[in-house]
Structure 1
């Protein structure tokens, strides 16, 4: 009788999961549930109150939800509360929620919550279809791809990434250094020169941040669209893939609605123009006031 296959490795409460795996399992459930119910147009305050009862009481997340709910009732946003809870939520989590809550921005809060749910699941070692142990390399590449795909700004975004307590000082220094290099230098080149593969070939970095596989994949995708690099990392190394913004379906297309409103405005303008020229008498539409006998 053959022996059973060993269980998939789970990340320990180390660098990738500084709060402990249990916390990130509950965070993944919380952010995913919040995104799903907000998509169904459920009130945010009711969703938070319900989530408070659902999450595991032995974690610190219920207390964090209480503070989020209090801040939401007073100011109408959650990002400020997440910023104040910097010992629990990372700067990138607060930044993504803040961008989603920004009325002038184009980033969907529901997509942002799904981004946070997948990140928390990766930290907890729960990425679907992958049995690899979470790493700092996978965490950074996921966060960078989120900034890239959603155009969230490299300067503020990478500053928030560098504030993550998961990264040691040499990682933080490198992340802050590439803030102004991204866009001028390909991300594939930035990864390659910091890889073990480049070090073996006489590369510039003596203390590589990325492994041999990341270096070889980056080398193969130089001078190509960065999306090809990310897709290769997903296939070869099982790194998590950020959620994509859903395209608007035909039923939800706002253009026909705008066209109908323009037609209504045109009709109203025509009525006003005819009235100004005296060619249209609005008095015939006036209702006669009721008399005392009625």
Structure 2
């Protein structure tokens, strides 16, 4: 009896094991069919081609060119993303123009930088308009990149994560460690969606970078004379001022020496005393008589 019972239990285990394996295989086949269906559906999707362009050119006036570029972009539905103008002084010199003014002569170069986004269908038209503004085009380039596969990859992975989150939420609880996994999958799902939105924007709007410059410019302007020597009074006026200052210094010297009258008096008395004793000493000296030889 026990032997028959064991055989029945073994047969049941084999049966259920086979059924579970078949279900797993069916699930794998279903998942593979789903991915294949998604891939086949994306074959007919529109291509995700992005365009980026660069140009460097010479213009007559950088500031006027910037204004024309802004107007052209606005008409074609574009937008200036970044803009800057910089000037570099090559040489400068100041020459005398009048007694109190100088003529400043400056040689400088001006460069402009502009980054813009423009609808992809208007990119060629915009570059043609730029070529008409330029005096000379140094270089021009266009780069196209197919982002279709990256777009499909993000889409499929986002859908897989959404399905995984749905299944985790069915069995997850607040204390389950699967909650963190679900949150991680949700964040990754959001990242994939954002990446695809960025690709859509890049496909819709092309980015163009413009570097433009003008020839060396010479500018002259009248500025105040900063040489202090040129502002000094005339010779005769300075001579009169110096004589007046000399008399003032002499009076100050006399006043200063008047404060030392006691020292002068003491020195004078000491001089006469020394002189008196010196003469007296010489008077006592006996001069020997000179004999005839």
TM over 0.5: no
- TM-score where L is the length of structure 2: 0.19
- TM-score where L is the length of structure 1: 0.19
- Structure with higher Rg: it is 2
Higher strand share: 2
The structure with higher relative contact order (CA 8 Å, sep 6+) is: 2
